Amino acid sequence: MTSAVTQARLWYWQRISAMVLALCVLIHLAIMIYAVRGGLSAAEILGRTRGSLSFGAFYSVFVLACALHVPIGLATVADEWMGWRGPKVAVAAGFFGIAIVFMGLRAVYGVVAA
Amino acid sequence: MAKLKQWRPNKRNSHMSTNLKVKVWRGGEQGSFASYDVPRQGSQTVLDVVTYIQRHLDPSLSYRFACRVGMCGSCAMTVNGVARWTCRTHVAKVAADGRLEIAPLSNLLVIKDLTTDMSEFFDKWARAKGQFNGKQTRHDDFARVDPNSRERIAANAGIECIGCGVCYASCDVVSWRADYLGPAALNRAWTLVNDVRDTQRAERLRAVAGDAGCHACHTQGSCSEHCPKQIEPTAGIAGLKYLAAKAAIWGEL
């Protein structure tokens, strides 16, 4: 068993990140519905996102909330389905989180600053 | 509560057999179902059926019961795939087609036939610090507990548990990880952390927090769905997670 303190902290971080994600998903869906009104093209999207600090900030928060939320859930799945416990599952989940941060922020950079 | 349909031969069901087709688990961890024909009676309970088999058809059948009125919690078995108190389950409610399959409770070792080893179940109550530990002696006055306080209302919601094991047998998480404390032990811990007379709140939270404790619960609610006392261990476990989080933030865990 990992420590009670660690599990309690993982629980509230997953709760907090879930609240952030719920809000982000709603805003994301609203933006999508708004954005595709007159058809969808790469030029139109990039025209809206390039140089937009608010767009970059919003999706950076989205990515960071995912990077926090997903590995905690995956660690539980790996524990229950494959019996991974202790440092092994912590390292695997950590790498997954880092991968989400890297790929997610790279995508945000790509549509905002590149 | 839904009105129970009592079986009586009449024009509509007179084609049905007057016998129940009953399959009963025989053996230990390894075994098989044996079939019996049991006469159908009005207001017949599943425990009546098992008792009939042992007294009239096969005296070697092992099962456990005591009070027969839903107070002791010893006669729980798996009836047509669902964990139930057999003494409070009418045959008419679960065997509309005249067929019953009776097995021992899941997630517990089978001693013989319908009798399970409850040691692990109750050991987990002890691991969850399920013992009350007060500081007053017989020389002190009675503790004054406001029945309308938030803590007392929370404790009252879970206090009627009689330890039958139905929630434990219905819990998928227990079947996935054997070290999970389970809904009954956690419900007991929840009633005690809400008992203002108890002195072991911090130790108890430490005992029940963690990936074999309340944090393993997926909030699927099978325990609350199947509890014959309509207790909601799921709600108590959610409460324990919340208290554990608060304790972790304040460095008390």
Contacts of B77 (CB under 8 A, 6+ apart): B46, B50, B63, B83, B84, B86, B102, B103, B104, B105, B114
Decide if B206 and A80 are in contact by the 8 Å CB cutoff.
Answer: no
- A9 close to B248: Cβ distance less than 8 angstroms: yes
Give the C-alpha distances (Å, rounded to integers) separating B166 from A47, B80, B105, B108, B129.
60, 14, 7, 11, 21
CATH superfamily placement of domain B118-249: Alpha-helical ferredoxin (1.10.1060.10)
CB distance B197 to B136 below 8 Å: yes
Under 8 Å CB pairs connecting chains A and B tally to 50
Residue carrying structure tokens 């139905």: B166
Q: Which of B176, B179, B253 sits opposite A4 (nearest CB)?
A: B253
Residue holding tokens 């068993």?
A1
3-state DSSP assignment of residue B13? coil
- Position B5 scores a pLDDT of 53
**Domain coordinates of chain A in residue numbers?**
49-114
- Tell which of A80, A84, A88 to mutate to test the B interface (max B CBs under 10 Å): A80
Mutate to test the interface with A, among B215, B218, B242, B243 (most CBs of A within 10 A): B215
Select the CATH number that applies to the domain covering B19-116 from these four: 3.30.390.10, 2.40.50.100, 3.10.20.30, 3.40.50.300. 3.10.20.30
B228 residue type, one letter: P
Chain A contact probe: residue of B171, B203, B211 with most A CBs at under 10 A:
B211
Q: How does pLDDT run along chain B (253 residues), one tens digit per residue?
A: 455 555 555 555 444 558 999 999 999 999 999 999 999 999 999 999 999 999 999 999 999 999 999 999 999 999 999 999 999 999 999 998 999 999 999 999 999 999 999 999 999 999 999 999 999 999 999 999 999 999 999 999 999 999 999 999 999 999 988 999 999 999 999 999 999 999 999 999 999 998 899 999 999 999 999 999 999 999 999 999 999 999 999 988 8
Q: Which of B176, B206, B249 sits opposite A4 (nearest CB)?
A: B206
Could you state, in order of their start, the residue ranges of all structural domains in chain B?
19-116, 118-249
Q: Which residues of B touch A (CB under 8 A)?
A: 176-177, 179, 205-206, 209-213, 215, 241, 244-245, 247-249, 253
Cross-chain Cβ contact A8/B176 below 8 Å: no
- Quick one: pLDDT band at residue A43, thresholds 50, 70, 90? confident
pLDDT of residue B241: 96
Class of residue A65 by CB neighbours under 10 A (exposed 0-12, middle 13-18, buried 19+): buried
Mind listing the pLDDT tens digit for each residue in A57-104?
999 999 999 999 999 999 989 988 888 888 889 999 999 999 999 999
Q: What tokens does B250 get?
A: 């304040």
Instruction: Render pLDDT for B27-60 as a digit per residue (tens, 0 to 9).
Output: 999 999 999 999 999 999 999 999 999 999 999 9
Nearest to A80 among B177, B206, B241 (CB): B177
